[in-house]
Structure 1
Amino acid sequence: MHHIKCKNPVSSTESNLHSLSLPPPMEPRIVLITGCSSGIGLALAVKLANDEQRRFKVIATMRNLAKREALEEAAGDALNDTLEIKKLDVCSESSIRECMDSLPGRHVDILINNAGVGLIGPIECQSIDDMKGVFETNFFGVVRMIKEVLPDMKRRRSGHIVVISSVMGLQGIMFNDIYAASKFAVEGFCESLLYQAMKFDIFLTLVEPGPVVTEFELKTNEEAMLGDYSKTDPETVEMFTNFYLKNTKAIFSSLGQTPAEVAEHVLHVITMEEPPFRHQTNQVYTPVTALKYADPSGELVNDILYKLVFHHDTLMQASLQAIKFIRWKANKVQQGARMLGLI
């Protein structure tokens, strides 16, 4: 019997070590987030920067660096490690360009367009300049950012563009006329851009939260209570203060998500192998948006919402309280499961 001898025999120990060796770690993906001084942007920047697998290098941007303290405190040890804070005003092309030029190779793997402003109340009491300001940030801010990163993503045939939109980009809500219009514009822009992005293997995702409880939202509602509504009629003022603001407070306390919850959804989306084009973070709103698509005439959803607000206010309040209680119970169950190590 002939024995074949190996010129370079490998010991069993060496073989086992070789088979167990892990591939070299992947370079962290560069994530640029706008509007990180508070709210969703701050929560998202901190979450990604503190990722246990160190999958991300976060470029957290904000218009006014004087407001960076809250982010610095929340970031902890990630600051100047996996998180870097830079100035960026989405309303200024030169500011965007300056920020991008400061990045090595102007390279961004994931762009998260989060910067946004709100505007509520009767339109007779809002100036055209205020309305333009909403569009400058919410719509043109998104367009400016995408214009800046898209050419490089096209060249690399790789990238993910995320836009924090809103369910109000799918269904208008009373007294949010201009804000909803800006989000509708974003949705239409992204729908149109999607097919071009797909051709270059670039993912595009609209994340659509419902109400999110932030200091900004609370302040906006408080200021609205003290607003000057002399330019509109008494019936509209009554509708805004006694119907809209009252119901908004109940909706936020019952259905509102925290910025951290929305950040968790965004993390899920950007780590998916095939990210969706649309992702709603609050399933309570899915039936409302589904109704709109089910009835192209719009009569079904509009009739339901109108009657719910003006004819069945008591029923809506009771429903919101019931939902609030159910969510409270669900959170308690989850907390108990975590304590027991079940999840």
Structure 2
Amino acid sequence: MARRNVLITGCSSGIGLALAVKMAKDEQKRFKVYATMRNLAKKEPLEEAAGDRLGKTLEIKQLDVCDELSIKACVNSIPDRRIDVLVSNAGMGLIGPIECQTIEEMKTVMDTNFFGLVRLLKEILPDMKKRKSGHIVIISSVMGIQGILFNDVYAASKFAVEGFCESLAIQALKFKLQLSLIEPGPVVTEFERKVFEDGMKMDLSAADAETAEMFTNIYLKNYKQIFQSLGQSAEDVAEHTVKIILAENPPFRHQTNTLYTPMTTLKYADPNGDLPIDIFYKMVFQHDKIFSASLNFIKLLRWRSRKSFDLGKPSQ
């Protein structure tokens, strides 16, 4: 198998960094990774993680998904502009009551998460069509399937990505291209920590007292517990993504977290859409103690599973 050129966006941390390193360190050397980021001043963690693969199977390049000229310059710097696998990973989050968010903040999320993907494809898709080969992989989210409390704008950006890709996938088939949406649930990364910290610092004065109380004492209070109970690591998501890239017939959608699958299944169980909304409402406002206890139980089971696995390793 010929080595595939892989361009990944958003590689300064989190899923992008983990994926770039994993593919660059592939034992069979099946990939040449172009790991990109908006700000090259943040490249040191990637350089350290890449180790001796840097300059060999991994190159770091500047790319800002919100800047068409930056995208073109990056693609032009790749030999023959050949990108066999595009991984659209760059993104940003936003949580909180919409009354406390500016329209400019909302536009920035949409510009990065949705239009960032569109800009990439406008530059890269025509070359893939000419070659009639290529795999477009988008790091989406389960929130592209089902909205979550106080994630209104972020969910909207991911819904936009999912709808856009559903339409594009039909055309892609005609050109023998593959398109896959990777849909993680909670992932414990610097991305999520920053979103949480920004939420903690949010000025809630524009919201009514009940909404502010709901965001502070229900959403933020449970945020860390949800990630501790259901969260995956960036490396885990990267492993799922590599398997999809290597698959002979990769699926259009792939959820990386089986613990979260029952939540998204609710969306398809009721065509009217009432079931998931009703269940989430009851979980949050009527059965919050049971919900909290369930998260603690899941966390305990996962901890015991990891402990059992660790104890099973041979001693050094």
TM-score normalised by L of structure 2: 0.98
- The C-alpha deviation readout for 1:282-305, integer Å capped at 9, x for no partner, is 012212211111201111111111
Residue 142 of structure 2 is matched in structure 1 by 167
- Compute the RMSD of aligned alpha carbons: 1.3
- The C-alpha deviation readout for 1:74-122, integer Å capped at 9, x for no partner, is 1001100100000000001100000000011100000000000001101
Which runs of 5 or more structure 1 residues have no equivalent in the other structure? 1-25
Code of the aligned partner of 1:171? Q
Code of the aligned partner of 1:156? R
> Could you tell me which of 160, 164, 173 is aligned with 1:185?
160
Q: CA deviation at 1:249?
A: 1.2
Residues of 1 paired with 2:32 and 2:314: CA distance? 31
Which residues in structure 2 correspond to 1:294-313 (within 5 Å)? Answer: 294-313=269-288
Residues of 1 paired with 2:191 and 2:301: CA distance? 26
Code of the aligned partner of 2:310? Q
SS in 1 for 2:148: coil
Residue 135 of structure 1 is matched in structure 2 by 110
Residue 249 of structure 2 is matched in structure 1 by 274
Using a 3 Å threshold, how does the CA distance of structure 1 residues 337 and 274 change in structure 2: closer, same or farther? farther
Residue 13 of structure 2 is matched in structure 1 by 38
Residues of 2 paired with 1:331 and 1:271: CA distance? 27
Q: CA deviation at 1:157?
A: 1.1
Which residues in structure 2 correspond to 1:79-228 (within 5 Å)? Answer: 79-228=54-203
Q: CA deviation at 1:202?
A: 0.6
Residue 302 of structure 2 is matched in structure 1 by 327
SS in 2 for 1:121: coil
Moved over 6 A (4+): none
Residues of 2 paired with 1:107 and 1:150: CA distance? 11
> Could you tell me which of 27, 36, 55 is aligned with 1:52?
27
- The C-alpha deviation readout for 1:285-330, integer Å capped at 9, x for no partner, is 2122111112011111111110000111110111001101111122
SS in 2 for 1:97: helix
Residues of 1 paired with 2:314 and 2:53: CA distance? 27
Code of the aligned partner of 2:16? G
Residues of 2 paired with 1:276 and 1:222: CA distance? 35
Q: Which moved more, 1:283-292 or 1:82-91?
A: 283-292
Q: CA deviation at 1:61?
A: 0.2
Code of the aligned partner of 2:96? G
Q: CA deviation at 1:156?
A: 1.2
Code of the aligned partner of 1:130? E
Residues of 2 paired with 1:115 and 1:215: CA distance? 13
Provide the identity percentage: 66
Code of the aligned partner of 1:234? A
SS in 1 for 2:180: strand
SS in 1 for 2:249: coil
- The C-alpha deviation readout for 1:253-279, integer Å capped at 9, x for no partner, is 111111001001001100100000000
Residue 268 of structure 2 is matched in structure 1 by 293
Q: Which of structures 1 and 2 has the bigger CA Rg?
A: 1
Q: CA deviation at 1:240?
A: 0.1
Q: CA deviation at 1:339?
A: 3.7
Query: Larger RCO: Structure 1 or Structure 2 (Cα < 8 Å, ≥ 6 residues apart)?
Result: 2
- Any conservation in 1 of the 2:186–2:227 contact (CA below 8 Å)? yes
Which runs of 5 or more structure 2 residues have no equivalent in the other structure? none
The count of aligned residue pairs is 316
Q: CA deviation at 1:219?
A: 2.6
- Any conservation in 1 of the 2:92–2:191 contact (CA below 8 Å)? no
> Could you tell me which of 224, 230, 251 is aligned with 1:255?
230
Residues of 1 paired with 2:295 and 2:288: CA distance? 11
Q: Which moved more, 1:289-298 or 1:169-178?
A: 289-298
Residues of 1 paired with 2:313 and 2:30: CA distance? 25
Q: CA deviation at 1:338?
A: 5.0
Code of the aligned partner of 1:258? S
